[in-house]
Amino acid sequence: MRIVYIMGAFYLAALVFLWVGRLGKISRKLAVTVSAVFLLAGSGALAAAVYPIGNSYGKTVNRLQDLPGNGVVAAPSPGGAEFAAPLPGSAAQKPAPDSGKTGSPAIPSGGYMALTFDDGPYPPYTDRLLDVLKEKKAHATFFLVAEQAQRHPELVKRALAEGHTVGLHAFRHRDFLKLTEEEKQKNLAQGKKVLHGITGKEPVYWRPPHGFRDFSVMEEAAAQNLAVVNWSVIPRDWTGIGKQEIYGRVMAKAEDGAIVLLHDGDSPFYKASRQATVDAVALLIDSLREKGYHLVSLEEYQEINR
Catalytic residues: 118, 263
**What string marks each residue from 97 to 126 as x (binds Zn ion by CB under 5 A) or -?**
---------------------xx-------
Which amino acid is present at 194? V
Report the nearest approach of Zn ion to the CB of residue 291 (Å): 28
Report the nearest approach of Zn ion to the CB of residue 134 (Å): 24
Report the nearest approach of Zn ion to the CB of residue 49 (Å): 16
How far is 131 from 264, CA to CA, in rounded Å? Answer: 13
Torsion of CA 233, 263, 193, 86, to 10 degrees: -10
Q: Does 237 bind Zn ion (CB under 5 A)?
A: no
The window from 183-191, 202-210, 217-225, 295-303 that contacts Zn ion (CB under 5 A) reads 202-210
How far is 222 from 151, CA to CA, in rounded Å? Answer: 28
DSSP assignment letter at 106: P
Which amino acid is present at 292? G
Number of residues that bind Zn ion (CB under 5 A): 3
Report the nearest approach of Zn ion to the CB of residue 265 (Å): 8
| Of 118 and 299, CB closest to Zn ion | 118
At a CB cut-off of 8 Å and minimum separation 6, what does 157 contact?
Answer: 198, 199
| Of 7 and 226, CB closest to Zn ion | 226
| Of 203 and 209, CB closest to Zn ion | 209
Q: Which residue is nearest to Zn ion (CB)?
A: 118
How far is 208 from 172, CA to CA, in rounded Å? Answer: 11
| Of 119 and 219, CB closest to Zn ion | 119
- Residue 186, classified by CB atoms within 10 Å of its CB into exposed (0-12), middle (13-18) or buried (19+), is middle
Q: What is the contact surface with Zn ion in residues (CB under 5 A)?
A: 118-119, 209
